[in-house]
Structure 1
Amino acid sequence: MHDLSGRTILLTGASKGIGAATAEALGAAGAHVVAHYGGDRAGAEAATAAIPADRKLLVQADLADLGAVRGLWREAVAWRGRVDVLVNNAAVMLDSPLAADDDQWDAAWARSLDVNVKGPASLLRDATRHHLERGGGVIVTISSWAAQRGAGNPDLTAYSASKAAIKAATQTIARAHAVDGVLAYVVAPGIVRTQMSEVSAQRTGGEEALTASLAMKEWVPPSDLADLVCYLATGRCRHLTGATLDVNGASYVR
């Protein structure tokens, strides 16, 4: 069990999937959790149900609205006077097929860049400046194996590009501020057992065919990602900063 007692952690996208599992794990490890959600408050409440009231703060914000994103950061810091760890997890996976009309294509790219890049990058900026003032801190970005290898589904061009962009931004912070104690990690999951992945699988031949293509013949459980995030949040493995940690059951080995 990782001990995160006394640490304040801002987690985006805490209402479902990887975020919900991570919120639960962070709480079990003793962290004070700022659980961000977009529109699903009930999901965020369920994910944080086991966390004592004095160790959790639920905050709504649309990550496509930079004013709301900056408000989220200010509220997170004001709660306990600091944020020790930022976990940039929230994202959307929108179809951007080449055959789409111009309006659909433009809308998918705009929303993907707003929610998956510009919002998280704003939080990345705020967290880095905050950590520099405080003498160090931790940033964890949840990216995707699509950022390394491209998406298996050609309709997810905007999604894979957005995940590559926030990955590069995180690595830039890691390189620039390792000497300052700002530790920044990228976690790149493969196929994770989430609703978003299940919906995507139905568009590309079905879950059975996708599972058969995986080396372990099974999807990554969200709890694996949650446990890894908890470990990174401790800040104990300083020399891992800048790394991209692949979590895909050997289906993609670099």
Structure 2
Amino acid sequence: MDDLTGKNVIVTGASKGIGAATAQAMVAAGANVIAHYGGDKAGAAAATQGKATLIQADFTDMSAVDAFWNHAKAAANGRIDVLVNNAGIMRQTGGIGDPIEEWDSVWDEAIAVNVSAPARLMRHAVRDWLDTGEKGAIIGIGSWVSTRGTSNPGAIAYAASKAAISAATKTVARNYAAQGILAYVIAPGVVGTQMSVASAEKTGGVDAVTATLPMGEWVPPSDIAETAVFLASGRARHLTGATIDLNGAAYIR
């Protein structure tokens, strides 16, 4: 495993699923992890086994996002090396066929949590690195739905929001590479998380979704986590700007 000793790493949405696996892997690699959670502190604590700084923040509130960044920097003695933008929300309703009030509510929440909050953290990180002349890396946890759309009509806001933050991350990669600021997007397919199970229930069930996958299994969160650790190591500088597909050959482009 890559050695991240001495690196200060933020992982958002560290309570469950991909975020929990990533925070756990970062801790195992020796990083000083600042683990964000929304409401499930116990989940974040379990994932990091008491070896991370846990900070709560409501990512629908941009002032809370700003406060989270300041607290994270303080916990890291003023220097963040890697930002893993993982926190996200995927509602199963709010599609075209749903009431307009539900549509508006789901879209507002998706844009706030999946776009505005991670973009704001990215802005903080890049500005700090530019001010100090330090190098850093942003790892966005995206989704294959940002390029192929989603088969779940209720998740249209999720797909759109993931595409938006992916484009923002690539824009950072293109514009700040010369300053040593790297940015990547990991785009998983069907991952073994509760969020994916809930989505599968809207599109035929777990068995039906699994039957469409060439490997006959869902992507384990640990695959995404280990990829994030590799990117955080800085050993793939010229991969900056890339979208890294992790879907078991279910979507090849």
| TM-score category of the 2 structures, normalised to the smaller one | over 0.9
Distance 2:208 2:17 in 1: 22
Match of 2:8 in 1: 8
Match of 2:112 in 1: 114
* 8 Å Cα contact 2:95-2:157 kept in structure 1: no
Distance 1:134 1:76 in 2: 19
- Which amino acid is 2:208 matched to? A
Distance 1:194 1:58 in 2: 21
Match of 1:81 in 2: 78
Match of 1:204 in 2: 203
Q: TM-score w.r.t. structure 2 length? A: 0.97
Distance 2:49 2:99 in 1: 43
* 8 Å Cα contact 2:82-2:138 kept in structure 1: yes
State how 1:177-188 maps to structure 2 within 5 Å: 177-188=176-187
- Which amino acid is 1:28 matched to? A
* 8 Å Cα contact 1:87-1:139 kept in structure 2: yes
Once the two structures are TM-superposed, the CA of residue 50 in structure 1 deviates from its matched residue by 5.7
List per-residue Cα deviations over 1:7-47 (Å, max 9, x = no partner): 00011000000000011100000000000000001101111
Question: Could you tell me the percent identity over the aligned residues?
Answer: 56
Match of 1:235 in 2: 234
* 8 Å Cα contact 1:35-1:57 kept in structure 2: yes
Match of 2:90 in 1: 93
- Counterpart check, 1:70 vs 2:66: yes
List per-residue Cα deviations over 1:119-173 (Å, max 9, x = no partner): 0110010011112223310000001000011012122110000000000000000
- Counterpart check, 1:218 vs 2:214: no
Distance 1:249 1:91 in 2: 22
Once the two structures are TM-superposed, the CA of residue 101 in structure 1 deviates from its matched residue by 1.0
* 8 Å Cα contact 1:88-1:120 kept in structure 2: yes
- Which amino acid is 2:111 matched to? L
* 8 Å Cα contact 2:82-2:136 kept in structure 1: yes
Q: TM-score w.r.t. structure 1 length? A: 0.97
List per-residue Cα deviations over 1:165-205 (Å, max 9, x = no partner): 00000000000000110000000000000011011111110
Distance 1:136 1:14 in 2: 24
Match of 2:152 in 1: 153
- Which amino acid is 1:252 matched to? Y
SS at match of 2:53: strand
Distance 1:228 1:128 in 2: 22
- Counterpart check, 1:140 vs 2:139: yes
Distance 1:160 1:210 in 2: 18
- Which amino acid is 1:78 matched to? A
- Which amino acid is 1:7 matched to? K
* Greater shift in the superposed pair: 71-80 or 29-38: 71-80
Runs of 4+ in 1 over 2 A off after TM superposition: none
Which sections of structure 2, spanning at least 5 residues, go unmatched? none
